[in-house]
A and B are shown apart, each in its own frame.
Chain A
Amino acid sequence: MRYAETGINLEIDLSRGNIEKVATDPKETELYLGGLGTNTKLLWDRVPPEVDAFSPDNLLIFGAGLLCGTPATGCNRTIVSTISPQTGLMAFSMMGGFWAPELKYAGYDKIVLRGKSPDLVYLWIHNDKVEIRDASHLRGKGAIETAEIIKRELNEPRAQVAAIGLAGENRVYYASIEQGRSSASRGGIGAVMGDKGVKAIAVRGTKDISVARPEEFLALCNEVLEYIKYREEHPIPGVMPILAGLGSPQEMKIHDEKWHTENFMWGNSRTRRKGFWTEEIEKEWTETMEKARTRLISCFNCPMKCGATISMPGLPTYMMKCFTKLTYTMAAYSDLDFGLRIAQKATEYGLDGFSAPQVMAFALELLENGILSKDDFPGMPEDNEGRFFYLLDMIVHRKGIGDTLAKGTYWAAKEIGNGAEDYAHNTIKKHEQLPLKLSMLNPIYFLMYSTGEKINITQIEGQFPQAPFPSREAREEFVKDWIQVPDEKFKQYFLDWEPRGENSIPYYPTVQMTCEIVDWQERMHYIDDALGQCAGLSSFPLKPPYHIHNYPKFISAGAGIAMDEEKLTEAAKRYRTLVRAINIRRGMRRKDEKPPENHWKHRFPELEKELLDTYYKFKGWNEEGIPTKETLESLGLDYVAREFLERGILSDDETAATDENREAVTETANQ
């Protein structure tokens, strides 16, 4: 008997309309856990680097995390993995909400889509019954609208629906998949779904998910709930409000946006507006939010309420979470009212709220600077907000310049030329980042930005405070109940970290410490993504209820896999390395591993080189960032090592490949 997981994947060949239920190998779960881990294994096995995002041979995998559907609080993530049209690398976006547990209750761990449907379809999965249904009547419909129509026509109000909007249908490179109060936004996976001709996947399940050791598992869940209550009553002193509590950033709850609006960049990640947050603005924005927000809402089996239902006068209701609250507002130098209005449209279109606003601001910057002309924007309104609505439509419909902009700032700049590339200044691995421009290089963030293959800093950071606390006493207080550290040494690193002087950034934490801190933060995120645990209760906030000491117990009691901290750490390292292997096979190298050019004003080339060198070594990668044969074999990834040797990515003496064959690989990957 399989515990926590169902042991069945649903394989759907859209070209032939073929549906298969495939039993999976429990050994794979032991090695790669589930969710992201086993998704990655499938992509490695079945999507060679010659296959691009819009090839029928690309897979689109919806994986429920290993513990989704069990009573583990906040364990509800769907991990969607594919090849990203924007980065050409592996994309793995996560969505919360209710979809993954429903899939488990229907009897499946994953849905693996391959091929392309000749006509627009949607999938209806109701326990054992799986249908591919015509979706021609849903063409062009909004993502939320689509979910409503499907639930009505199936007469299944309890079905959970993941859908794309027009952006996905039209293969906008930063199209998202929307699902209830959640979305999988990064990496353009909505475009792949649209390319496959799938408008939506509706799921309803009424079967059991079992756990291996019930009493023990429940006791662990109760401990987590107790701890959540404790943490709610004990916010962390001395850090900004969004870091003091649990959950994903409580943007829907918190009105004080001084920190975001004054520290993040407005426009196309361009201007810092110090002194922006006045009493007047605060009053106005608070009113806007309170009028718009009907209710704070949670994902499946979680008390944290990180999302909200938003109803703007005259517009359909939608659901929102996190930072999208501000991205459109700040891109347009406008106010919150505008931000919430345009986000309604953008959500129905199904767009990544990080990338889309930046692309639009980028286009207007090109216009202002004479790189694009008025003729490129026929019929564009004069007013600022109107221009953003106009651009949104142009992009999603891929009309005129919108067709180019639909590829994101990196590719659009290349296509436009004429100096446009200087304006695409906020990408990592070709993908738009948070609009931040800071002063002093931060070694921890330098490594996370450079080597994070999740592309998004919020999906990499957490665990270790973002900045030193001003006083020794405050730091001592902080480490007192810091049970989440995998090793006591991290407490010392933090205790000795000073805002100024010898023990301050960029040279403290030292290079070695930095490597260890980054590795810990990353490890926790990777574990979450395999288990389906929301980062908001685990890898993202300080002092979360889930950590390296209780996770092994959850896995043992839940999935019945004997687990301890070491084994879990190694499993996470295994599929983390496999993600890298996929990207390396697709041509990613050291040259791609850097933060946006102008991210920090003060840079330290030598230190940065040392950081990267040391981290690569620490991870068992060679100086090009390629996992060595020895590393691969020690993790049981011999098959990767073999292929790297065959492809000339590694040579027999385990050093980097020569320059020639490295280029050859890059070329194939880009074709």
Chain B
Amino acid sequence: MKKRTIKNIKIDVDKCNGCRACEVICSAFHAVPKYSSNNPARSRIRVIHDPLRDIYVPVYAGEYTVAECAGRDKYVIDGKEYDECAFCRAACPSREEFKEPDSGLPLKCDMCEGEEEPLCVKWCLVDALTYEEREEEVEVEEEEAPDEIEIGLETLINKHGLDKILDTVEQLAKDKG
């Protein structure tokens, strides 16, 4: 048995004021070099925001998916109607959410690896986001999470096919060599 820490961010949509500070700091943190630039479109958290319908839902980027859903549900919560897409954490082919704006490569929340506390939580002064940690016993060894290049390449392969990608890489290698 092994212990692992589960990092959890609790979202209280009633407290969110739609300021998008969370998007700002997330994108700045993930810039290279760190904080050198900022672009909410690269953020791994998105605030689904429709003030006239009073919709304020921060959503974290989850796994990348190859295919979009065949059908989608609509939810009515507190009299407000939400499209299933609004809550979905996946980077999927049918929408631009959670993808790098230039490359289309998927983004995923990494809980601000290396920081004491997720930065979006730190920057959300109104406490719509709170951080929780708990220890959990796990039976199996954890699988190594695929790194960003792997996820990226997988997306590209899904989009263009393996051959095309290999050809392109070969071509690029030649050009650079």
Contacts and interface: CB of A to CB of B under 8 A. Distances in A.
* Chains A and B form a bound pair: yes
Given A144-B52, A309-B51, A215 B20 contact: no
Interface stretch (A69-77, A110-118, A490-498, A605-613): A69-77
Nearest to B39: A208
Contacts of B51: 180-181, 297, 309, 317, 319
Given A208-B38, A217-B35, A298 B18 contact: yes
A208 B102 CA distance: 11
Interface in B45-98: 50-54, 56
B138 interface: no
Contact of A71 (B19, B24, B33): B24
Interface in A171-197: 180-181
B166 interface: no
Interface residues of A, number: 40
Contacts of A69: 38
A62 B39 CA distance: 21
B35 A208 contact: no
B116 to A, nearest CB: 13
DSSP class of A's interface residues: helix, strand, loop or mixed? Answer: loop
Contacts, number: 91
B106 to A, nearest CB: 15
Contacts of A651: none
Contacts of B2: none
A210 B37 contact: yes
A237 interface: no
Contacts of B38: 69-71, 208-211
A295 interface: yes
A73 to B, nearest CB: 7
Nearest to B28: A71
Interface of A: 69-71, 73, 98, 105, 144, 148, 157, 180-181, 205-211, 214-215, 217-218, 225, 228-229, 294-303, 305, 309, 316-317, 319
24 contacts: A71-B25, A71-B38, A73-B21, A98-B20, A105-B40, A180-B51, A207-B39, A207-B101, A208-B38, A208-B42, A211-B35, A211-B38, A214-B33, A218-B35, A225-B123, A294-B54, A295-B54, A297-B51, A298-B19, A299-B19, A303-B17, A305-B17, A317-B51, A317-B53
Given A210-B36, A225-B125, 19 more contacts: A69-B38, A71-B28, A73-B21, A98-B20, A144-B52, A206-B41, A208-B38, A209-B39, A211-B36, A214-B28, A214-B34, A294-B54, A297-B51, A299-B19, A300-B20, A301-B19, A302-B21, A303-B21, A305-B17
Interface of B: 17-21, 24-25, 28, 31, 33-42, 50-54, 56, 101, 123-126
Q: Which 3 A-B pairs have the closest CB atoms?
A: A214-B35, A206-B41, A206-B101
